[in-house]
Structure 1
Amino acid sequence: MSTQGRQPLRVAMWSGPRNISTAMMRSWENRGDCAVSDEPLYAAYLAATGLDHPGREEIIAHGDTDFERVAAALATGPAPDGQPIWYQKHMTHHLLPGHDSSWVRSLVNVFLIRDPAEVVESYLKSRATVEPPDIGLLQQAALFDVVATSQGHAPPVIDADDFLRAPGAYLQALCDRLGIAFTERMLAWPAGPRESDGIWAPHWYDAVWKSTAFEPWRARSPQLSGHALAVAEACRPAYEALRAHRLVLP
């Protein structure tokens, strides 16, 4: 695949936090023909919301806080290093109300979902509180509808629980859907940090830095109560709506 005379394939993977999104980014970067961008809207999100996230000031100083400029580059700019595939790891909660979402039509959009109870349980291990917008499922469902309406059919959806049972088969199916070749290189990668990691990586990527492949699937039984349970249940209809369109292996 060559970029001469044509635009790169821009694969936007829309996820929420506490999913397998960073491992998925590792997988794509290890192809050898793919550049990756790690949450390119994060600095703009923090600057606009004023939220206090770990490394906030460093993230804002290191990134571009102009949402429209970043979005335009992602939609129409050249891929890093001139690669033919440009994988963009996005968090849907970085899309704030009032932001123009028309630029996503220039991307090949894929949605990575996870059961909200599992997300909330994991989220609260590193954050003191959680609200429905924090885990991105409501925003995922809204963006999914925008993309599906604009292109006339549902975009690909991957459920993390399904995926971890058979990563190779799901990556093969996704690559087929996107019209690109699957490679076994997507199933394993060297441990350690990458230059492509966001500046926030020391706060969040310890497990990924130690990893060399996707984690083995295991059954999970989140134990939530009170407000945490209410948050998960508030997001469950959005999760189920997206899950109805998930990629299912034959």
Structure 2
Amino acid sequence: MENGSHQVRVMLWSMPRTLSTAFTKCMSHLDNVSVISEPYTCAMMYGPESQLIMQKKSKDAFENLKDASKMISLHDVGLDQNLYTFKWVKESLLEGDYPGKDIVFCKDMSQPVSVNHSLIPKGYRHAFMIRHPLKLYKSWSKVLLGYGTTQSLDEVLDIGGAKGYAYADHLELYEYLISSGIEPDPVIIDADELQSNPEGILRKFCQTLDIKYTDKLLSWEAGDGVVKDWVASKIQLQCNKLTKVYQNAFDSTCFKKLDPMPLRSELEKCVLKCADETMPIYMKMFEKRLRP
């Protein structure tokens, strides 16, 4: 990569609320990079095949959001979600040509691919974002409350078919990449350690994946201007504008200082339920995390 002689492709597999959008905004400042945002998630939630893998109750919950998001104007930014079949995402979007680019970086959720390993794109290195379950599910529950849902976090995840409150899906994909030989040693980034030592983690990440490091990864301008250069669906960009789920990431100018661990006494029962069940999974992945 140092001499620009080959193209590096990276899949960053994430779960909601793992700081993966902030990390993607950071990666947007690599030299000569093309960024793809959540293509399989779009196929799962909004594409023409979404009804094949989503339960009706879960799918119906998105209809009002989809209708409202259409009122958000983004001019010509974003792709039509009707393009997003799983085959098109894999073969045309992820495995397509990106001439002149040194890096192709894609961030997506692990759940759609953990249930269908044939969707794993060829030619990519693989990395994972993890976060302590107490922080992850506290943040996730707060997002759901912002939607006005009457269901608890664990109920919503059960309806959506997420295994082990999505953390089991995460681990399953990680272990499959290793056992299949596709990626013998996937990179794992812990969100807390990224916040505690951004330069150390980012330098090691770039070194491990043969990417040329730049100090531009340490600070950037506030705002969502970078998304105009992302390969993303229009409806996802509209929903993000509407719900402001990623607002903190887009408002960021760097990786902010580490938040303290929340007290169990201050957390909802559903958050504690999800966190307690997934702590063994988190610790298993945490032991393999990237270290500066």
**Alignment pair present for 1:52 and 2:61:** yes
Q: Which amino acid aligns with 1:229?
A: L
* Residue pairs, 1:157-168, within 5 angstroms: 157-168=188-199
Aligned equivalents of 1:236, 1:213: Cα separation in 2: 28
- Distance across 1 between alignment mates of 2:281 and 2:248: 28
Q: Is residue 248 of structure 1 aligned with residue 291 of structure 2?
A: yes
Q: Name the CA distance, whole Å, in 2 between partners of 1:51 and 1:108.
A: 35
**Which residue of the partner structure matches residue 13 of structure 1?**
12
Partner residue of 1:208? 249
Q: State the shift of 1:73 in Å.
A: 2.8
Residue 144 of structure 1 aligns with an amino acid whose one-letter code is Y
Alpha-carbon distance between aligned partners in 1 of 2:210 and 2:177, rounded to the nearest angstrom: 19
Q: Does 1:92 align with 2:110?
A: yes
CA distance, structure 1, for counterparts of residue 180 and residue 166 of structure 2: 21
Whether the aligned pair in 1 keeps the contact of 2:14 and 2:130 (CA below 8 Å) is yes
- Counterpart in the other structure of 1:231: 274
RMSD over aligned Cα, in angstroms? 2.7
Amino acid at match of 1:24: F
- The change in CA–CA distance for 1:3 and 1:90 in structure 2 (over 3 A counts) is farther
Matched, 1:130 2:153: yes
Query: 1:209-232 CA deviation, whole Å, 9 max, x = no partner?
Result: 221111112322243343331122
Question: Structure 2 residue aligned with 1:186, among 184, 195, 217?
Answer: 217
Q: How many residues align?
A: 245
Alpha-carbon shift at residue 83 of structure 1 (Å)? 1.6
The Cα of 1:25 is off from its aligned counterpart by 0.6
Q: What are the Cα deviations for residues 135-192 of structure 1, in whole angstroms up to 9, with x where unaligned?
A: 5311110011111123373211111111110101101001111112211011111221
Where 2:107 maps in the other structure, the secondary structure is: strand
> TM-score, normalization: structure 1?
0.86
Match of 2:84 among 53, 62, 65: 65
CA contact (8 A) 2:14 2:20 kept: yes
Partner of 2:174: 144
3-state DSSP of counterpart to 1:126: helix
Larger radius of gyration: 2
What CA distance in whole angstroms lies between the structure 1 residues aligned with 2:190 and 2:110?
15
3-state secondary structure, aligned to 2:35: strand
| 1:38 alignment counterpart | 37
Task: Return closer, same or farther for 1:177/1:184 CA change in 2, 3 Å cut-off.
Answer: same
TM-score (ref. length: structure 2): 0.75
Distance (Å, rounded) in 1 between the aligned partners of 2:100 and 2:41: 23
- 1:110/1:83 CA distance change after superposition, 3 Å: same
Cα gap change, 1:171 to 1:181, in 2 (>3 Å) = same
* Alpha-carbon distance in structure 2 between the residues aligned to 1:3 and 1:74: 26
Name stretches of at least 5 consecutive residues in structure 2 with no aligned partner.
Answer: 71-78
- The match for 1:83 among 101, 119, 123 is 101
Higher RCO (CA-CA < 8 Å; seq separation 6+):
2
**Residue identity opposite 2:274 in structure 1:** V
Tell me the distance in 1 between the aligned counterparts of 2:3 and 2:66: 36
Q: Quick one: distance in 2 between partners of 1:115 and 1:168?
A: 20
Q: Is 1:219 matched up with 2:260?
A: yes
2:291 is paired with a residue whose SS is coil
Gaps of 5+ in 1: none
Instruction: State, as a whole percentage, how many aligned pairs show the same letter.
Output: 23
Contact (CA 8 Å) 1:45, 1:95: kept in 2 or not?
Answer: no
The C-alpha deviation readout for 1:31-64, integer Å capped at 9, x for no partner, is 13111111111221112412624744559x9323
Q: Could you list the runs of 4 or more consecutive aligned residues of structure 1 that deviate by over 6 angstroms after TM superposition?
A: 2-5
